[in-house]
Structure formats: C-alpha cells, structure tokens
Structure 1
Amino acid sequence: MYRLNFPNTPLYHGDIANLTVEEALRLSGLAEGELDIFDGSPPCQGFSIAGKRQFHDARNQLFKEYVRLLRGLKPKAFIMENVAGMVKGKMKKIFAECLTELKASGYRVKAKLLDCSYFGVPQMRKRLIFIGIRRELGFEPSHPLPKGPVVSIMEAIDGADTSGVPELNDRYGLLYDQVPHGKSADYVIGTGYSSCVKPHPHKPSPTLPKTQTGRGFATIVHPYERRALSIGEAKRIGSFPDDFQLTGSYSEQWARIGNSVPPLFMRQIASHVANNLSQHVSERLAPN
C-alpha cells in the first residue's frame, strides 16, 4: 500500500528486526546523525483499550526495535506514537520502560496524550505521543497546542464517495432507527452492545474501530442514512485524501484506516518538531 501511494519513496519491506542501521542509512542516503526526525509507531494492539490489554503480548516488545534503530541512526529528534491504553493499568509498566529506554538513548523525552479532534481531524481519537530531542542540542521537547477549528463528521464526509456501501440487515435497520445520535446499541438493548454507534452529526466522529465487516451490521453507522459508512467517508474521517489508494475488501480497507494514525494529526506534530529544530539550530549557529 505504501509503494502504491508513494512510488518514489525508498521502502524497506520486511521484518523490522532484520533491518540494520547500515541499510536504513543507505536507503535514506544519510549519514549517522544527519536525520532530522525519526518517526515510528510500534504495533499497539497489545496496548489497545478496545481489545484486551496483554502485558506479555509479543508485539509490545517491538518498541525495542525502534529504540535499536534510534540509537544507531542518532536523529536530531524522534516522534513515537502509541494508543492511550499504554498509560492505563498494568500497561503503565511498559510506558515506564519506554521512557527509560528512550532517555537512555541520549534524548530528552516528553510524552503526552493528544486528541486528534483538536488538530483538525474530524474524529475523537486519543493518541500517546512521545517526542524526544537529542540531549546535546540543549533544548526541551514540546508538544503542539490544539489547533482549531473542530470539524464535525457531516462537514468532513460531505461529497465523499459512497460507492460500495454495505446495507444493514432488517434487524440492524430497525435498531438503527431506535438509536439516538451520540449513542450506540447498548442504549436500546443494554450494556455490552457496542455496535451501531450513531455519531452526533455536529461533532467529530467517535474513534473509528479497526473492525467493520459490512455483513449486514456495522460498528459505526451514518448519522442520517440507514447504512454503514463508506470507505470514502472513512478516509475523510481519518483525514486521508480522497485519492489515497487502499487495497483489499471493504473490511480490509476499513481495518487499514482504523489502525492508522490520522495523517493530518501527524503532520501537525511533525511540523511542530521540525519548526522547533529549525529555530534552535539556527540560534546555535547564529553569530554572537
């Protein structure tokens, strides 16, 4: 999918554990220490609130591969993203381990929960963002401030492609009619039924789940129309451009959006870090 959308960008396709620092530098055309920002999102399913948080999930250890590359590449700054569940319950142990490892790699580090909806994304989606600055650069990392305006789901999906939208079966169609805006099936049936989420039309969408099968029912539905959301609408809610190409079935394309970090959100974080780097490096180089 990355190659399909970014054909001119160097791409390593393989197990991250097998990617050497030397190969990463070769692909980027940079030398050690020249990279401005190293961005990565270690797999987060083991931390997710939506699933069962598993402290011993093998995927939780993949952040160590990120740290390995961080120490080898020695970028001026890094950004590391994970889900909000990482700072809850037993997962706090892994959060603390992450901070320790990142700081021990030679960086000043700060972590903060940010809501994508405050950064122009039409989706209420919280993400834990680690930002680090190489210690020798002499300044502290910071996170961007919220940047409006807040965009509602209806503003976002207006005019989006609605082709290939799965229909709701009769049972879910009736359920749809009874669920008010801002509620889900548990409002009608009882606690434990989290499907048929009907977004409030004048607010950002709830967090898009990674699962949306399109088989007669839907985890999240259209605010006004008795149907699931289309892939085109999901792309808008995830802040992907309309021409971004996705592959696979409806449920597979949906999962790619549901598992993603909204690009508009990450662009604002990366721009903030880049601007800070530029400002402080310029100050260091300025004549006295």
Structure 2
Amino acid sequence: MRYTCIDSFSGAGGLSLGLSKAGFEILFSFDIDELSIKTQKLNTKYFNHEAVCADITQLNSKQLMKQLGIKKGELTLFAGGPPCQGFSIQRIGEDSDDRNNLVFEFMKKVVDFLPKFFLMENVPGIAGKRGKEILEEALDYAEQNGYAIHRQILDAQDYGVPQRRKRLIIIGERKLNGKLKFQFPKASTKKITVREVISKLPKPPADGKEHEKISLHRSDKLSKVNLERIKYLKPGQGREFLPENLLADCHKIDSSVIGHRNVYGRMSWDKVAPTITARFDSFTRGLFGHPEQHRTISLREGALLQTFPMDFDFCGNKVDVARQIGNAVPPKLAFEIGKKIIQSIV
C-alpha cells in the first residue's frame, strides 16, 4: 500500500526524514525559506521528492494535485508546522504576529486536499491565551470538514530523542465509517543521554577550523569572559553557579525572580540535552556548553542531538545552519508519530 505525504513549512526536512523512514512517500515539500529548500536538495541520499521555495498563501491546491497526479481525498497525510514564533512564551505583547494566520492557511490547504490524516506540530504555547482562539477556529474548521481531532503534548525525550523538547502534536483523522483508529505513541522510560550521542566525537580543531572528517564540527572562539565562565562551570551547571564577578549585570538579580536560569551553562553528560533552539550555537543563549570541553557544542553535535544522521548536510552560514537545525522537528519523533499513523490505516 502507498502512504503519500505533503510536507508544508518543511524547513530543512526533519519531519520528512522521520516520516519517510516510517514508510511515507514524500510527494512534495515546501517552505518559504530558500536555504532550507537548498538543504533538502543537497541531501539526495535521503530525499528524492520535489522541494520548492513557496509561500503557502500563493500555492494553488488544484494545480498541485494535478501536478502530483492525485485527486482530492487520495493523499494519506498533509503535514507541517506553521511558524510558531508568534505563540512562543518568550514573546510578550499583543498577538499581532502575521505568522499566526498561517495556522489557518495550513488548515485551508488540508481541506483542499482532504487527506486521510493531517499532522500539525507546534509549540505548546499555541494552545495558551494568545494562540488558543486562532487554533480553535482552525480546528473547528477541520471538524466541520469531517476530521476528528487528536491532540497531545509530547516531550521528544520520551521518544528516543536525546533532548527535552515539548511540542503540541495535533493529528486530524478523517472520519470513515465512524471508527477512529489513531493513537499517540507510548512514551518510553529509556532516555538517550548526551554522552551516548556526542561523547565519541573527536575534539574539533583548536584553531576554529572544521574537522577534516566531520562536517560542521568546529569550535567557535569564545570571548575572554565567556571562556572564564565556562571554565568555572561543571557539567550541568548554569549561570546560578557563577561567582558575581562573572555575571552580566542583568543576571545579578536572582534567577528565580527574572528567569534566564539556563544561560552560560554546560550540558550534563548523563542527562538529555536542553531544547536545541535556533541559537544553540551561542554560549549566552542556554545550556549549550560542551559538558567538558571549553566551548559551545558544534553544529554537528546539535544536529545529532536533534537526531539528524551524521552525514546529513546543511546549506548556509553558521547562523543559518543553527536556525535550520533548531527549528526542525526531530526526525526520530516524526518517525514514531508516522509509524502510529500508518498503523491506523492498515
């Protein structure tokens, strides 16, 4: 049996990678970010589908169905993660972010294609105060068009990803014969640690150049004060363990009052990593220091902690690559969800 999928807001392809491993045939993927599409096209070992740089609001569903040789209702899965920055708990102020409207654009495309399932991934904050109204309106629209909604917050560390990463996963299942079959994957008690994933990698060159055998494995130069900070810290320690003379002025207020506890820190060897964000390449943005070496984790180490394969390449400069890695759906999480969707069909 053929399980077909369109991946929208695809980024570098983390979702596509996991879904294809689970048994889906990716027919088409798109994203408005040109570098992410270049990344997908670069990885011919993993992708052979058409990937295009496109704005979802400009994509013609009828033309795309004709192009892909499918009719309305034939697609197995329409998947994607509409940009979520507008719902992030790190943002403050009014909910006026245009990206929030993309949730409804996503759902309109779902109804255009009428797949057996849709999968939407987002930050848990989308269901909070600012995002709830937009989300519920979109899900109501899906229900009016024949979908039953399954939703659950999954933490990636419970599904074979060596990282704390909570995401709201919404599965729409088209009602057929009144029977609903989809069930979320069960959480595993086994956690994959940072040590298991990156401890065997050799040290990157001290001169800041890329490792000759491992792409994207290089050590960024730290400022003098950041080097002092990381040398002071043990694995798993963050800025609350630093002496006052090594704290930035904004961090001299107790972390329980202002937050920002997890900055200027090292990862723990024997725990999962913190959430790999779009700026995990920066020591000042989180617990992104290597557990032992006096450096931030490399781009390759970040990709491995997101469960990308060792030979998966990325296009762009350092900041571009970190953004693509940090914004991706961990392929291993996508794989576990994809398996359950397929099990709901057979």
Measured in 2, the distance between the counterparts of 1:113 and 1:183 equals 27
Structure 2, gaps ≥5 residues long: 1-38, 202-213
Among 220, 235, 245, the alignment partner of 1:181 is 235
The alpha carbon displacement at 1:247 in A equals 1.2
Q: State the partner residue of 2:16.
A: none
Change (3 A) 1:54 1:262: farther
Superposition RMSD on alpha carbons, in Å? 2.1
Among 213, 218, 224, the alignment partner of 1:170 is 224
Say which SS state the counterpart of residue 161 (structure 2) adopts.
coil
Q: Which string of whole-angstrom CA distances, capped at 9 and with x for unpartnered residues, describes residues 164-210 of structure 1?
A: 22022221122113334333224434425442232221111000121
Say which SS state the counterpart of residue 50 (structure 2) adopts.
coil
Contact 2:239 2:265 in 1 (8 A): yes
Measured in 2, the distance between the counterparts of 1:13 and 1:90 equals 29
The alpha carbon displacement at 1:70 in A equals 0.7
Q: Which string of whole-angstrom CA distances, capped at 9 and with x for unpartnered residues, describes residues 51-107 of structure 1?
A: 447522100000111111111111111111101111233333233223222222310
Q: State the partner residue of 2:139.
A: 99
Change (3 A) 1:4 1:72: same
Change (3 A) 1:137 1:65: farther
Alignment of 1:18-57 (within 5 A): 18-52=58-92, 55-57=95-97
Among 163, 170, 175, the alignment partner of 1:123 is 163
TM, length-normalised to structure 2: 0.74
Q: State the partner residue of 2:188.
A: 147
Q: Which string of whole-angstrom CA distances, capped at 9 and with x for unpartnered residues, describes residues 259-281 of structure 1?
A: 11101101110111111111xxx
Q: State the partner residue of 1:133.
A: 173
Q: Give the letter for the 2:123 counterpart.
A: V
Q: Which string of whole-angstrom CA distances, capped at 9 and with x for unpartnered residues, describes residues 94-142 of structure 1?
A: 3322322222231000111000001000110001000111023533332
Contact 1:37 1:76 in 2 (8 A): yes
Say which SS state the counterpart of residue 39 (structure 1) adopts.
strand
Say which SS state the counterpart of residue 79 (structure 1) adopts.
strand
Contact 1:212 1:251 in 2 (8 A): no
Change (3 A) 1:166 1:218: farther
Say which SS state the counterpart of residue 154 (structure 1) adopts.
helix
Q: State the partner residue of 2:32.
A: none
Contact 1:217 1:228 in 2 (8 A): no
Q: State the partner residue of 2:303.
A: 235
Q: Give the letter for the 1:258 counterpart.
A: G
TM, length-normalised to structure 1: 0.88
Change (3 A) 1:110 1:218: closer
Contact 2:281 2:299 in 1 (8 A): no
Q: State the partner residue of 2:289.
A: 221
Q: State the partner residue of 1:157.
A: 198
Among 91, 95, 98, the alignment partner of 1:58 is 98
Say which SS state the counterpart of residue 111 (structure 2) adopts.
helix
Contact 1:133 1:139 in 2 (8 A): no
Q: Give the letter for the 1:157 counterpart.
A: I
Q: Give the letter for the 1:163 counterpart.
A: H
Measured in 2, the distance between the counterparts of 1:112 and 1:103 equals 17
4+ residue stretches of structure 1 with deviation over 4 A? none
Contact 2:158 2:190 in 1 (8 A): yes
Q: State the partner residue of 1:286.
A: none
Measured in 2, the distance between the counterparts of 1:142 and 1:272 equals 7
- Which structure has more relative contact order (CA 8 Å, sep 6+)? It is 2
Is 2:323 aligned against 1:269? no
Q: State the partner residue of 2:41.
A: 3
Contact 2:299 2:322 in 1 (8 A): yes
Measured in 1, the distance between the counterparts of 2:311 and 2:93 equals 35
Measured in 2, the distance between the counterparts of 1:54 and 1:238 equals 31
Q: State the partner residue of 1:249.
A: 317
Say which SS state the counterpart of residue 153 (structure 2) adopts.
strand
Measured in 2, the distance between the counterparts of 1:261 and 1:54 equals 27
